[in-house]
Copies of this chain bind each other. A is one copy, B any other.
Amino acid sequence: MAVYTEVSDEELDRFVAGYDIGAVLSCKGIAEGVENSNFLLHTERGNFILTLYEKRVDPNDLPFFLGLMEHLASRGLGCPLPVHDRAGATLGELAGRPAAIVTFLEGQWVRRPTARHCALLGEALARMHLAGGGFERRRPNALTMPSWRPLWERSAARADEVATGLSADVEAELAVLERDWPAEGALPFGVVHADLFPDNVFFLGDRLSGLIDFYFACDDMFAYDVAVCLNSWCFEQDLSFNLTKGRALLAAYEAVRPFEPAEVAALPLLARGAALRFLLTRLYDWLNVPPGALVRPKDPLEYHRKLRFHRAVDDASGYGWSPR
């Protein structure tokens, strides 16, 4: 739940007057999103989302994120479209923060995705990977393999406070991933979402209406994005893996963008890496809750259990994959 920055009505009116979207009718902070402050802005021209970028986002990355949304939307992908101000810019400043207005994407995220949702997700993810082609900006993934050890070192000393044996287990896992992680160029590479959890995917009735929150998007292996989704969509509440959901996701992805054999072979390892990435960021947040925090930290052990599942997977058939 997140509104970190208060915006006065005068400031807001002045900011919105810079856009051709009519006058402000209402503006309410939204209790979702943990990185930035988001407001549902209703103007004479309709509903928009106003985002104030808080300190966890590097302002230098904003042209990548906003440009990517514009690029993807222009290729027909459902996602918020940044609104240009009267001077043509999509990035402004409000209440001392970088700020942007994007179009409102209808739909709701699903708390308990079904196999049908996983199939729609797989299709949309593949379409996003294809639609990212031709986007001219580059952004390396700041949270991929080489970053994991430095991140781990900030939590290592206290990891066993969270679970006995966690420290040794992460060390062993890191050693494997550092040894076996695919070299750059070994797998198809392009713009990935990198955080496509259920709360970033909207559905409207029977269809997927779009993807949101591109603030971890970057250049990485497409199959890594698939591995993030296997982690975040295909486990049940009790952390058992639902093979039907995995199969639905992978088959629907394949139907739009066929996997290369090397991608299929790498899936278990990529799924381990994705699980470790979320384990490590959650562990750090868990151990470093700022006083007065408005956001409950997420349980890092959820991803430890998922990681252990992936270690027991021999090949992609363990996720429901079968060649066509």
A→B interface (CB under 8 Å): 1-3, 6, 8-9, 12, 23-32, 40, 42, 47, 104-112, 202-205, 292, 294, 296
Contact = CB atoms under 8 A, between A and B. Distances in A.
Nearest to A37: B31
B23 A2 contact: no
A106 to B, nearest CB: 4
Given A9-B203, A40-B28, A1 B110 contact: no
A210 to B, nearest CB: 11
Contact of A1 (B26, B27, B29, B40): B29
Contacts of A106: 25-26, 42
A31 B12 contact: no
Given A1-B2, A25-B107, 12 more contacts: A1-B1, A1-B3, A9-B109, A12-B108, A25-B204, A26-B107, A26-B202, A28-B30, A28-B31, A29-B32, A42-B47, A294-B294
- Counting every copy of the chain, the complex holds 2
Q: What does DSSP make chain A's interface, helix, strand, loop or mixed? A: loop
A28 B1 CA distance: 11
10 contacts: A6-B111, A9-B108, A12-B108, A25-B107, A25-B204, A26-B202, A28-B31, A29-B31, A30-B31, A42-B47
Contacts of A31: 1-3, 28-31
Contacts of A296: 292, 294
A108 B27 contact: yes
A26 B108 contact: yes
Nearest to A28: B30
A26 to B, nearest CB: 5
A276 B296 CA distance: 33
Nearest to A105: B26
Contacts of A205: 23
A149 to B, nearest CB: 31
Nearest to A47: B42
Contacts of A28: 30-32, 40
